[in-house]
Structure 1
């Protein structure tokens, strides 16, 4: 599903160049649930931005579902993001003046889907995350956990190949974090490929594989015995 070879990325900082990714080799098979860990400055956010087609590597190759991701203009990159990827953010990134149903159906509008079909599909995914009764509520009327569930429903609505979750529990308390991870584990059990960027070891242990980054390199990549979030919910 994801194949990265010898990935390098540098940023110009005044007269100096900061080498952030230093030859990353990384692959993810369909259906995996992988966490990417590392301290601030390790390169995990840069790697996620490249995976999400929000940035491009200086060197190396990136294939997503056998499609080479290289030299994309913004229009094509946006089309590929819409086709291949669903995003879950720490800050939820919901539109405050739109209700849950409209937030979830938003990506489908950009796919050209008709309104009735958008509404049906958005409602289906709100039901899936346990928020059907909150369809007409605004984000300001919801808890952090509910907002993240809406964000997960939105990410799933366009049926992406891969879900990219950037610190999905970072703004949540422990109990709510485990509830969100229980939902993510359930989605993965249905076959969805998911990458979770986190700095929290207990969250990483709820995935099936942990990749550790340090100073722009992968220092460890291990399959782990997954801790079921439902045991803590």
Structure 2
């Protein structure tokens, strides 16, 4: 599903260059649930941005579902993101003046679906994440956990190949974090490929594989015995 080979990325810092990723080799098979860990400055956010087609590597290759991701203009990158990827963010990134239903339906507009189809799909995924009764509520009428469930429904609605979750529990208390991880584990159990960037060890243990980055290189990449979130819910 994901194949990354010898990935390098540097940023100009005035007259200097900061080498952030230093030859990353990394692959993810379809249906995996992988966490990416590392301290601030380790390169995990840069790696996620490249995986999400929000940035591009200087060297190396990135292949997603058999498609080389290289030299994309913004229009093609946006189309590929919409086709291949679903995003879940720490800060939810919901539109405050739109209902939960409209937030979930919005990405489908860019796929060219008609209004009726968008609404039906959005209702289905809100039901899937247990939020059907809140479909016409605005984000400020929802709890943090409910907002993240809306974000998960929105990410799923376009039926992406891969879900990329950037600190999805970072703004939540431990009980709500476990509820969200229970939902994510359930989605993975259905076969969806999911990558989670997290700094929380207990969240990483709820995935099936942990990749540790330090100073722009992978220092460990190991399968783990998955802890089921449901036992905490």
Query: Is the pair's TM-score, using the shorter chain for normalization, greater than 0.5?
Result: yes
Say what the alpha-carbon RMSD is for the aligned residues.
Answer: 0.2
Name the CA distance, whole Å, in 1 between partners of 2:146 and 2:232: 18
TM-score where L is the length of structure 2: 1.00
Structure 2: tracts of 5 or more residues without a match: none
* Shift of residue 170, structure 1, vs aligned partner: 0.2
Question: What is the aligned partner in structure 2 of residue 33 from structure 1?
Answer: 33
How far residue 138 of structure 1 moved from its aligned partner, in angstroms, is 0.1
Structure 1 distance, partners of 2:110, 2:116, is 14
Q: Secondary structure at the match of 2:41?
A: coil
Q: Are residues 1:9 and 2:9 paired?
A: yes
Name the structure 2 match of 1:228: 228
Distance 2:109 2:7 in 1: 34
Superposition map of 1:79-228 within 5 A? 79-228=79-228
**Structure 1: tracts of 5 or more residues without a match:** none
Cα deviations across residues 137-181 of structure 1 (Å, max 9, x unaligned)? Answer: 000000000000000000000000000000000000000000000
C-alpha distance after superposition, 1:5-31 (max 9, x if no partner): 000000000011000000000000000
Count residues with an aligned counterpart: 233
Secondary structure, counterpart of 2:27 in structure 1 = strand
> Cα offset for 1:106?
0.2
Q: What CA distance in whole angstroms lies between the structure 1 residues aligned with 2:107 and 2:224? A: 34
Off by >6 Å, runs of 4+ in structure 1? none
Give the TM-score normalised by the residue count of structure 1. 1.00
